[in-house]
């Protein structure tokens, strides 16, 4: 895993961060999840700004502290406005100026809330992304829901000194 993503996966004491320790405990699953995650984050037809918007929307839905910490910064770095990131973190409806961001947020929010897309939200996102992009977007939402579950179930801690977005920082379960 460190060969594919480098030092960003390793903490100061040499351990893996985020969901990656769980991957090590189930290497047959972890290898495939890591490859899928790399594909969905870095090699899709979806612009990175919109991917990061989708990821933070999923992370906020599940209140996955580590996912939020990692991806809120990336969302800002790739052009999602700070006010939008902050609103999503608070659970408020963001005020979008960009139609593409509004369409992606609406689709992801509805998908992560009810597991389905109504015809209008589907059509708006599909017009923007095309068929391939829709498969990638729905897959991205499913993957980051799975990552959120791993982070929350194993109480993956935030880096030292990081303030949690939604309250107390999770503890650390033995798998870490």
Rounded to whole angstroms, the Cα distance separating 141 from 143 reads: 5
CA 143 to chain centre: 8
Greater confidence (119 vs 162) lies with: 119
pLDDT of 22 strictly over 80:
no
Choice among 31-40, 101-110, 116-125, 139-148 with the minimum mean pLDDT: 31-40
Span 14-32, mean pLDDT? 74
Torsion sign, CA atoms 166, 95, 131, 39? negative
* pLDDT band at 1; cut points 50, 70, 90: very low
pLDDT at 55: 98
Closest C-alpha among 107, 104, 109, 110 to residue 79: 104
* Percent of the chain clearing pLDDT 70 (strictly above): 85
pLDDT of 6 strictly over 50:
no
pLDDT at 27: 83
pLDDT at 13: 55
Q: Which domains does the chain have, with CATH numbers?
A: 47-153 (1.20.1290.10)
Closest C-alpha among 10, 13, 21 to residue 147: 21
pLDDT of 168 strictly over 70:
no
pLDDT at 134: 98
| Helices assigned H by DSSP within 7-118 | 20-25, 27-42, 48-62, 65-77, 82-90, 99-114
Residue 34 C-beta-side C-alpha neighbours within 13 Å: 21
Span 143-157, mean pLDDT? 91
pLDDT at 167: 78
Choice among 23-27, 68-72, 140-144 with the minimum mean pLDDT: 23-27
pLDDT of 156 strictly over 90:
no
pLDDT of 169 strictly over 80:
no
* pLDDT band at 172; cut points 50, 70, 90: low
């Amino acid at each position: 895993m460190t060969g594919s993503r480098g030092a960003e996966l390793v903490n100061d004491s040499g351990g893996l961060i985020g969901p990656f320790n769980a991957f090590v405990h189930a290497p047959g699953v972890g290898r495939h999840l890591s490859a899928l995650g790399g594909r969905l984050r870095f090699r899709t037809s979806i612009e990175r700004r919109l991917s990061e918007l989708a990821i933070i929307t999923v992370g906020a839905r599940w209140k996955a502290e580590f996912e939020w910490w990692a991806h809120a910064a990336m969302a800002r770095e790739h052009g999602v406005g700070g006010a939008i990131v902050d609103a999503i973190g608070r659970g408020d409806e963001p005020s979008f100026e960009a139609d593409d961001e509004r369409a992606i947020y609406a689709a992801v929010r509805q998908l992560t809330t009810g597991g389905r897309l109504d015809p209008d939200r589907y059509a708006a996102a599909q017009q923007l992304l095309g068929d391939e992009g829709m498969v990638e977007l729905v897959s991205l939402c499913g993957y980051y829901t799975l990552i959120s579950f791993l982070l929350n179930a194993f109480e993956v801690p935030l880096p030292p000194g990081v303030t949690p977005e939604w309250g107390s920082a999770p503890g650390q379960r033995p798998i870490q």
